[in-house]
Chain A
Amino acid sequence: MNRISLIVLMVFLAGCSIAKCQTNFYEHVSSLWFSGKKGEVLQIAEQRLGKNPNDIAGLLLKIEYQSEMLQFGGITNDMTKVLEVSKKYSGTNFSKAFPLLKDDFEILNDAITNYPPEEYAADLKKTNTVGKTMSFSPMIKALQKDGYFATLPDTATNMDSKKSTNTSK
């Protein structure tokens, strides 16, 4: 199977058409999340990260899922990684949203280190709740506005990597 065919298949398996993923990525993952198909969002994240471990969208969606499931192991490393790779991406809209992303990470870090037990018990019962929006939806939306998803996941990755002279693939 050639490279393009593999990409098409992976995208299809993730539950979205190429067109959707390219131009309506934000709407697609938001819809999945809102309807409670959070596992599918994780799949999309992992597929993107399988192509490029530095994919910003993949990392954000993975953090979104882990925090939603209150699975905090490793989440700090992923947040650190997002901040690292985000510095090398120069999309206008994402750059504007970046301070908000840092604020959100601080809030999340606080939650991880100081999660009140009674809150944890209450929140654990909500992990399968439908009808929610993602915490990082403004950043995913900003990436889409910047054309981050206009190319297929691996080529988007290549494009990102080329922006940095210090980043090797």
Chain B
Amino acid sequence: MRLKFTLALFTGLFVASSTLMADDGAAVTVLPGNPNPNPVCLGSPVSVSFSGTLTDPSNSTCEITITNTIWNWTASDETGQVASNSNGGASWTFPWIPANCGNETVTASATVTFQGTNCNGGYSTTASGSASVAVQAIHVVSIDGPTAGSLNPPPFAGGQEWTFDVTHSPHPDKHVVVFYKDCIYSSFNIKDGLQVKFQANICPNITSQDINNSEKWSKISGSDSGSLDGPSSFTFMCDTPSLGGVYRFNFDLGLCSDCVCSTNGATLVLPLAGAEVDAIVKADIVRADSFAVYVNAHYYWWQKRTHALIWFNNNGAGDYLGRPDNASYPTVWAYNQVSSDGFGAVATWKGIPIKIAKMSNFIVAYAARKIGVRSTEAWIANFLIGHGNDVSATESWNAGWDVAAGSSYDSTVATMVKYVWDKSDGKNEKLWPNYPPVDNYVAPDSWGDPDHQFTSPGFLYMTNP
């Protein structure tokens, strides 16, 4: 009698038993595996199923029951073990992810433990089988360009689109990244000749001649800046991209529309900072003027100091909070993280990526001078606690102080943001300018979602400070 491992015919047939020895004739046969899909895309999971059959001794009165089955499987770069009970199934699926091009052989062996009734014993026996899988895939890597620093770098394994969701953070989708700081001169102009090179590797090796030069690179989405150089070869260059954003490309071997692994995606990210805040700051200056008029009419000179923490510090009253953004030109969260209480985001201010803490320093300094505070030094000590009293903090404070005294907002801020750009913690230097205006701005009272909302310091909205 031949028993497939899945069968559950053996339970409760006999009570009395005698010992069955493996060499009494019980045997296991493992049938060849069945890979799916086959061929498989490099880097993608493949299931390989095997089936096993237990043959009992020729003694017709002997009945055997499987009590346990252990499957061991081996591929060139991976091994594994799967256990099953007596009714565990005739086939097992191994989630193997091939890492090498070419033909792979997976070998599996089954060790079956069984019990016999009316037989001569209860023992185990083993057998093995193998399955062959052809690994044929496109494998895209970025092989040149200023692309170090990706939080989830290539290669892009075959047969996939490789989408990129800007909100996935802190673990973004797979991408090549190019930081702003690596692409600009000190003048903030984009460097000449910036190129990011992508290479499609084919497994097993295929040359352009083999497929009649029908392979093709194309851009699926992304800004219009830059160009594709050599899109009709296995290698292509993204030439001189000058605008931030997410660029998605596709490589098509040109074999057929539904061939396994005949197309593959790749994503190039020039991470955008938060959107442009200039209009918001200008509106806030008007609000700060109203604030100052009220304070000057109501409070004594020294009371402006005793009230300082209430106006400018408590509960974020002196801080821009949240992540400034534009739905059509979204910032990349993984590179523009914001804390749960709303701090740390990078905005674009006068065309330059700047941490929003600098905006806070600016507007508080502006308001401080407008309400007649006499010494900047004492106020800097008071209000920059927690923001890091570095050069960028001081300069942004001074800019607000100067604008309050009559300096041109446009020229003062334009000069300041360029000066402090490389004098902070470096986070803003990675992000590309995002020129469209912020479209997720809310008033402080309505703010509560730091990831999706951006707001001004609360003191600007105090009806009666």
Contacts and interface: CB of A to CB of B under 8 A. Distances in A.
Contact of A137 (B301, B310, B465): B310
Interface in B293-319: 294, 297-303, 305-307, 309-310, 314
B328 interface: no
A71 to B, nearest CB: 13
B297 A133 contact: no
A111 interface: yes
Contact of B306 (A70, A123, A135): A135
B298 A132 contact: yes
B310 A108 contact: no
Contacts of A131: 294, 298, 464
Contact of A133 (B300, B302, B307): B307
Interface residues of A, number: 19
A133 B310 CA distance: 10
A126 B300 contact: yes
B26 to A, nearest CB: 76
A138 interface: yes
Nearest to A119: B301
A110 B302 contact: yes
Contacts of A107: 302, 305-306
Interface string B424-465: 000000000000000000000000000000000000000011
Contacts of B306: 104, 107-108, 135
Contacts of A119: 300-301
B301 A123 contact: yes
Contact of A129 (B297, B302, B465): B297
| Chain B interface main SS type | helix
A104 B307 CA distance: 9
A111 B302 contact: yes
Interface in A75-123: 100, 104, 107-108, 110-111, 116, 119, 123
A166 to B, nearest CB: 31
Contacts of B301: 111, 116, 119, 123
A116 B374 CA distance: 13
Interface residues of B, number: 16
Q: Is the interface of A mostly helix, strand, loop or mixed?
A: helix
Nearest to B314: A138
A138 B305 CA distance: 14
A133 B314 CA distance: 14
B234 to A, nearest CB: 65
Contacts of B307: 133, 135
A91 to B, nearest CB: 18
A70 B305 CA distance: 16
A20 B306 CA distance: 27
Contact of A132 (B299, B302, B314): B299
B314 A135 contact: no
B302 A138 contact: no
A131 B465 CA distance: 8
B297 A135 contact: no
Contacts of A138: 309-310, 314
A123 B300 contact: yes
Given A111-B302, A132-B299, A100 B464 contact: no
B318 to A, nearest CB: 15
Contact of B309 (A100, A126, A129): A100
Contacts of A126: 297-300
Contacts of A135: 303, 306-307
Contacts of A123: 300-301
A107 B364 CA distance: 20
Nearest to B303: A135
A119 B456 CA distance: 32
A119 B300 CA distance: 8
A103 to B, nearest CB: 8
Given A119-B300, A132-B298, A135-B306, 12 more contacts: A100-B309, A107-B302, A107-B305, A111-B300, A116-B301, A119-B301, A126-B297, A126-B298, A126-B299, A129-B298, A133-B307, A135-B303
Identify the 9 closest CB pairs spanning chains A and B, nearest first: A111-B302, A135-B306, A123-B300, A104-B306, A119-B301, A107-B305, A131-B464, A129-B298, A132-B298
Interface of B: 294, 297-303, 305-307, 309-310, 314, 464-465
10 contacts: A104-B306, A111-B300, A119-B300, A123-B301, A126-B297, A126-B300, A131-B294, A131-B464, A133-B307, A138-B310
